[in-house]
Amino acid sequence: GAVVSQHPSRVICKSGTSVKIECRSLDFQATTMFWYRQFPKQSLMLMATSNEGSKATYEQGVEKDKFLINHASLTLSTLTVTSAHPEDSSFYICSATLTSGSYEQYFGPGTRLTVT
């Protein structure tokens, strides 16, 4: 089956620094990747849709300058949390689809970000 990995699985950073999270599709080419965040005991909130080679589409209320998304290849999307603050501490999950219009989304295992 299609496998999506995320790196790192856990990261702790100091307030004011930037953190990059990678999402890779390991055995398929992903035309579209999605980024979600999940606070403890809450649901997943879609942050942005990322298409290879074009700018990401952000959901309402998500700051594009705060959460930089780059989808430079068909197997890699990155999310950079810039000038992180404690309120950015969350579980970040990515997903990927094989082709546009596909119902299937394959989720990564998530990255736990803690900002101190």
Partner 1 sequence: SQQGEEDPQALSIQEGENATMNCSYKTSINNLQWYRQNSGRGLVHLILIRSNEREKHSGRLRVTLDTSKKSSSLLITASRAADTASYFCATDRGGNQFYFGTGTSLTVIP
Contact 36, 45 (CB under 8 A): yes
Q: Check residue 7 for interaction with partner 1 (CB under 8 A).
A: no
Question: Taking CB under 8 A as the rule, does residue 63 contact partner 1?
Answer: no
Q: Is position 41 an interface residue for partner 1 (rule: CB under 8 A)?
A: yes
Which of 5, 6, 2, 4 minimizes the C-alpha distance to 113?
A: 6
- Locus of tokens 């700018």: 55
CB closer to partner 1, 44 vs 82: 44
Pairing between strand 111-115 and 10-13?
A: parallel
Q: Where along the sequence are the contacts to partner 1 (CB under 8 A)?
A: 32, 34, 36, 41-46, 49, 59, 91, 93, 95, 97, 100-105, 107-110, 112
